[in-house]
Amino acid sequence: MTASTPVAEPTGGAGSVPSPRAGGSLRAFVKGGGLVRWTGRTGALIPVLALGFILAVLVVEAIPAIRYNGLHFFTKSIWDEGTGYNSRIVTTNGVKHLTGADYGALPEIAGTLITSAIALIVGVPISIGAALFIVERLPRRLANGVGIFLELLAGIPSVIIGLWGALTFGPFIAHHITPVIARNMPDVPVLDFFRGSTGNGEGELTSGLILAIMIIPIVAATSRDLIRQVPILPREGAVALGMSDAQTARKVTLPWVGAGIVGAVVLGLARALGETMAVAMTCGVALGAVSSNIYGTMTTIAATIVTYLDTAFLDGSGFAVRTIAELALILMVITLAVNVAARLMTRRVSGTPLPIGAGF
């Protein structure tokens, strides 16, 4: 990083390719490879700087909200920017806000985690099963055709999926599927989360399933590419040992690319956590309450930010926007934590090193 003399490389092209016209220092800089080197260094720094900058801005914006909202922000279910027409701007502990401003983001945080969990629980097995099926069962030409559809599905704008979810998919499951489930679920802890009123199709389950549909192409396409890289020999070894297809997949094929599969799942989870529009259109945006069952209206961090931002700008004290920033910071921390956890898991999964460079 501290190479201050980019031209003075000991073994460059300078000696082997004598250039009589290389007079200007700029030309020497370009010809000696300095331009490429410095472009590369700058390019490598940009992601680091960008992440740092975004985090810094979010923290600065959110600090007043963190001070006023306190720890209750994580435990309360309320979203109140102030007392309507009678509101005045007051200052508490140096933080300007409207009288009666009271925020608790439990519904947002819970909603984000629950919908993402639904998406993973439903989406990941389907994705990996589909990837295995495409690689191992479909003839090559058909597999390529299906692959094109996967990539098309990944490219559909989320607003279109959201519209379909709000107009077609949500009402359909609310009228034909969820009432049957809700009626037949026993009234015991955990399972009673699936009982009760099934609503009109806007809510947790619809959003979670929409997210599942959105992560399937990402996870499936990535897994498919990984599974294709598994060499035939260990797979044949498993088959020749009398393992069933399922055992071969579970014991040999998937562990061979285990670290990559975890990466694919995290890619999907990151999409699910941050997905905004499709969720905002199908969740019902219930800012102040956590749903009592899986069918009820809810909200996520991303959906709250996008739907509430307009209103927040009307808050003359600016406090609502700062609360939005705090919300965004939480989402950012969750996303980063998921990535770090994935890295740790990847290290554990790949505990059995693969024969890269083992040279047999």
Q: What does the binding site for another protein look like in residue numbers (CB under 8 A)? A: 139, 233-234, 236-244, 247, 251-252, 255-256, 258, 351-355, 358-360
Please report how close the Cβ of residue 143 comes to another protein at its closest, in angstroms: 13
DSSP-H helix ranges across the chain: 13-16, 25-31, 34-69, 106-136, 140-155, 158-164, 170-176, 178-184, 204-228, 232-240, 245-248, 254-256, 258-274, 277-282, 301-313, 319-349
The dihedral over CA atoms of 139, 145, 149, 150, expressed in degrees to the nearest 10, equals: 40
Closest to another protein by CB, 105 or 134: 134
Look-up of token digits 């030409």: 141
Alpha-carbon distance of 216 to 200, in angstroms, equals 25
In whole angstroms, how close is the CB of 131 to another protein at the nearest point?
17
Q: Closer CB to another protein, residue 18 or residue 351?
A: 351
Residue in the block written with tokens 């024969």: 355
| Identity of the residue, 179 or 234, whose beta carbon is nearer to another protein in the bound complex | 234
Residue 237 vs 316, nearer CB to another protein = 237
How many other C-beta atoms can be found within 10 angstroms of the C-beta atom of residue 239?
Answer: 15
Q: Regarding beta strands 102-105 and 77-80, do their DSSP bridges make them parallel or antiparallel, or are they unpaired?
A: antiparallel
- CB 237, min distance to another protein, A: 4
Q: Please, what is the minimum distance in Å from the beta carbon of residue 345 to another protein?
A: 16
Q: How far is the CB of 319 from another protein (least distance, A)?
A: 54
Which helix (H) or strand (E) covers residue 104, if one does?
Answer: strand 102-105
Please check whether residue 297 is in contact with residue 199, taking contact to mean a CB–CB distance below 8 angstroms: yes
Instruction: Mention every residue, 6+ apart, whose C-beta is less than 8 A from residue 25.
Output: 7
Tell me whether residue 155 or residue 357 sits nearer to another protein (CB atom). 357
Closer by beta carbon to another protein, 120 or else 252: 252
- Residue 250 is given by DSSP the state I
**Residue closer to another protein (CB basis): 121 or 241:** 241
Instruction: Give least dist CB 134 to another protein, A.
Output: 16
Nearest CB to another protein, comparing residues 190 and 358: 358
**Tokens for 244?**
């069933």
On the 0-12 / 13-18 / 19+ scale of CB atoms within 10 A, 89 is middle
* Shortest reach from residue 346's CB to another protein, in Å: 14
Q: How far is the CB of 219 from another protein (least distance, A)?
A: 21
